[in-house]
């Protein structure tokens, strides 16, 4: 009996430890500028919670969401929080490449009546890798207008992945760089197994030429306090 109690106690402790290790920090939202907000959810990397940033813009005609939460438990809480804070619903969602930290919520948001978009290249890679897919596709760099705000998608070339795009909000000079751009804290380019190291530097140069003077640059996995993140990414790419 004593051995059984010890075994049950050990199993209970193991179960608690496993559940705690799998729990992610809660959804985090930080104001950026004007009606822009950076939201952060967490996924697993190396067995540990790892943060991923997304962006949303509040307009009079609804909220524009760039990328979906990585944490599947945060799909609805993000919508609920936006509704409670801003009294608006998400009407448009654009995913910037096919990895799960960008696309995990596409099916869910589509089921909620949100218009979901990716490039056709992203869609083909999502299909090939069994990832959620958007309802609407675009082939070339595309401009969207919602509630008086204009946003522009731009494909600078291969880098983090073959399909990575960025999103530019010209009026407020906000550049959403996604996983293509690394924050100034990043020691390296991160995971590039689905990308192209040989093309990375040229891709960043095209991005710099297209949007030479952003006021804000939002990378996926590090902080957004410095606009030097683009040059930092280029510096690392040129060493490959």
Domain parsing of the chain, residue ranges: 26-237
The fold adopted by the segment(s) 26-237 is Metallo-beta-lactamase; Chain A (3.60.15)
| Confidence band, pLDDT 50/70/90 cuts, at residue 45 | confident
Instruction: Report which of 72, 40, 89 is spatially closest to residue 222, judged by C-alpha positions.
Output: 40
How confident is the model over 125-184, as pLDDT tens digits? 999 999 999 999 999 999 999 999 999 999 999 999 999 999 999 999 999 999 999 999
Full-model pTM: 0.90
């Amino acid at each position: 009996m004593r051995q059984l109690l010890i075994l049950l106690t050990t199993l209970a402790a193991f179960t608690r430890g496993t559940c705690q290790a799998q729990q992610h920090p809660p959804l985090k939202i930080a104001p950026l500028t004007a009606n822009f907000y950076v939201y952060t959810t967490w996924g697993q990397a190396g067995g540990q919670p790892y943060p991923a940033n997304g962006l949303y813009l509040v307009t009079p005609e609804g909220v524009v969401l760039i990328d979906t939460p990585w944490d599947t438990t945060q799909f609805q809480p993000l919508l609920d929080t936006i509704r409670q804070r801003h009294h608006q619903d998400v009407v448009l969602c654009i995913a910037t490449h096919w990895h799960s930290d960008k696309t995990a919520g596409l099916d869910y948001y589509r089921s909620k009546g949100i218009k979901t978009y990716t490039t056709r290249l992203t869609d083909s890679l999502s299909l090939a890798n069994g990832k959620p897919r958007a309802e609407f596709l675009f082939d070339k760099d595309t401009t969207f207008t919602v509630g008086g705000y204009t946003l522009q998608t731009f494909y600078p070339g291969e880098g983090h992945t073959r399909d990575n795009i960025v999103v530019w909000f010209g009026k407020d000079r906000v550049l959403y760089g996604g996983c293509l751009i690394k924050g100034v804290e990043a020691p390296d380019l991160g995971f590039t197994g689905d990308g192209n190291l040989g093309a990375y530097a040229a891709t960043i140069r095209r991005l710099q030429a297209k949007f030479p003077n952003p006021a804000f640059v939002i990378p996926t996995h590090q902080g957004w306090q410095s606009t030097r993140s683009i040059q930092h990414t280029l510096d690392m790419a040129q060493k490959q």
